[in-house]
Structure 1
C-alpha cells in the first residue's frame, strides 16, 4: 500500500486548502471520507466473497473424499456379503442339505397357560364375597338411576 505519514498528510491538506478554499473544504472532506468508507466496505465484501468461495471449494473437495470413501465401504460390504453367501453355500453342500436349508419340522404349539380359578382382568377385593353376601354388604356399585329404581316404594293399585 501507499505509505502515508504525517508529513505527507500535512502537505496534501495544505494543497487542498489552497486549491479548494476554506469554505468548501469541510464539505469536500466529508465527501472524501464517505467515499473512502464505501471503498473500504467494498474491499471487505470482496475479501469475504473470496474467502467464501475458497471455503466452498474446500467443502466440495471434502464431500468428494467422503463420497469416495462411502463407495469404497459399500463395495467392501458387498464383497463380504458375497463371500459369506459363498461360505454358507459351501457349508450347506458339505452338510448334504439344499441351498435353502434342510426341511425342519415346525415346533409343536402348546396351548397358553391359564390359571384355573383366576380371572386376571376381574378386580377382586380382599373381603370374600360369601362374607359380604351373608352380612348384606354391597358387592356391586349402582348408578343413581338404578338405585332409585331398585329402592322406590311400589304403589299398590
Structure 2
C-alpha cells in the first residue's frame, strides 16, 4: 500500500485548503470519503466473489473425485457379485454348462415332491413352534405353575400375593 504518514497528510490538507478554499473543502472531503468507501466496498465484493469462485471450483473437483471413487467401488462390487454368481451357478449346475434353465427348474420341482421335503417342512414348523415357545413373553415360572393359563395378574398384585407378612407392615411408616 502507499506509505502516507501524518506529515504528508497535513501537506495534502494545506494544499487542498489553498486550492479549493475553506467554504468548499468540507463538501469535497465528504465526497472523497464517500467515493473512497464505495471503492473499498467494490474491491471487497470482488475479492469475496473471487474467493467464492475458487471454493466452488474446489468443491466441483472434490465432487468429481467422489463420484469417480463411488463409480469405481460400484463397478468392483458389481464385478465381484457377478463373479460370485457365476461360480455359484457353476456349482449348482454341477460344473457342466450344457444344462438349461428348464432342466434346473424341473429338478427343483422334483425335489419339492420327495418325502424328504415333507419331513423338512414338518421339522421347520416344529422348530418355529419351539422358538416361539422360547421367545414368548410369558414367563416360564408361570407356564410351569399350573400347566396352562388360568388368569393373569399384574406385577404389583403378584408381589403383594407372595410377599411374606412382616411386623413392619402392621406398624406403618410413621
TM bracket (short chain)? 0.5 to 0.7
Whether the aligned pair in 2 keeps the contact of 1:17 and 1:25 (CA below 8 Å) is yes
Question: 2:28 aligned with 1:31, yes or no?
Answer: no
SS at match of 2:121: coil
Structure 2 residues not aligned, in runs of 5+: 134-142, 162-174
Whether the aligned pair in 2 keeps the contact of 1:89 and 1:99 (CA below 8 Å) is no
Q: Identify, as 1 or 2, the structure richer in helix.
A: 2
Q: 1:19 to 1:30 in 2, by over 3 A?
A: same
| 2:81 aligned residue | 81
| 2:152 aligned residue | 123
Q: Please give the root-mean-square deviation of Cα atoms over the aligned residues, in Å.
A: 3.3
Q: Deviations over 1:1-22 (max 9, x none)?
A: 5443444433322221111111
Q: How many residues align?
A: 126
| 1:139 aligned residue | none
TM-score, normalised by the number of residues in structure 1: 0.64
Shift of 1:117: 4.0
Q: Which has the larger radius of gyration?
A: 1
| Cα distance in 1 between the residues matched to 2:81 and 2:38 | 63
Counterpart among 77, 83, 107 of residue 121 in structure 2: 107
| 1:51 aligned residue | 51
| 2:69 aligned residue | 69
Structure 1 residues not aligned, in runs of 5+: 128-157
